[in-house]
Amino acid sequence: MTVSVFIGTSVDGFIARTNGDLDFLPEGGGEPHGYNEFFASVDALVIGRKTFEAWPYGDKRVVVLSSRPVDLSAAAGGVVEQMAGPPAEIVSRLAASGAHHLYVDGGITIQAFLRAGLVHHLIITRVPVLIGDGVPLFGTLPRDVRLRHVATRHYPSGLVQSEYQVEP
């Protein structure tokens, strides 16, 4: 099983404004920067409830994490299910159901999977803007998470994308 994160942030590390607005991200996802290829490579998305409420995910298996009832009928297309529990249990359940590559999304959710040592691959695309405050990508950790730099790519619009492997 491989668990990946592919996310856009402001240069100061925020994935949304405090009120949930994403207006600082380039419209329509911006110029091509590998998202479609990445998306095609995943078997399932594992997203926090707040991301589910904010983001369209197209035609993929989507697992919404929440500890409370969620109205899954809001989802456009795809197969949507709900799970809750420790990240390791969620990964095991998805592995048992045949998934090989998970795309984990949402700040709180990514932080929980990182704390549990379950993320293998991070692709972070920095958008050239500072927004000062917002929903952070990263949070506290019980210990350092060592990363191996794989590549950094930059794009004419100013996007800078860094790819890391998480050291085991």
Ligand X SMILES: NC(=O)c1ccc[n+]([C@@H]2O[C@H](COP(=O)([O-])OP(=O)(O)OC[C@H]3O[C@@H](n4cnc5c(N)ncnc54)[C@H](OP(=O)(O)O)[C@@H]3O)[C@@H](O)[C@H]2O)c1
| Residue 4 near ligand X by CB under 6 A | no
Q: CB nearer to ligand X: give 89 or 167.
A: 89
The one-letter code for the residue type at 57 is Y
- Give the largest Cα separation in the chain, rounded: 43
| Residue 109 near ligand X by CB under 6 A | yes
39, 54, 78, 138: which one contacts ligand X (CB under 6 A)?
A: 54
The C-alpha atoms of residue 87 and residue 104 are separated, in whole angstroms, by: 10
The C-alpha atoms of residue 65 and residue 120 are separated, in whole angstroms, by: 20
The window from 8-16, 35-43, 72-80, 94-102 that contacts ligand X (CB under 6 A) reads 8-16
| Residue 75 near ligand X by CB under 6 A | no
| Residue 114 near ligand X by CB under 6 A | no
The C-alpha atoms of residue 159 and residue 80 are separated, in whole angstroms, by: 31
User: CB of 33: closest distance to ligand X in angstroms?
Assistant: 12
Q: Phi and psi (nearest 5°) for 49?
A: -55, -35
Which phi-psi region, left, alpha or beta, contains residue 77 (left: φ > 0; alpha: ψ -120 to 50)?
left
| Residue 29 near ligand X by CB under 6 A | no
Q: Contact positions toward ligand X, by CB under 6 A? A: 7-8, 15-16, 20, 22, 25, 48-51, 54-55, 65-68, 84-85, 87, 105-109, 112, 135
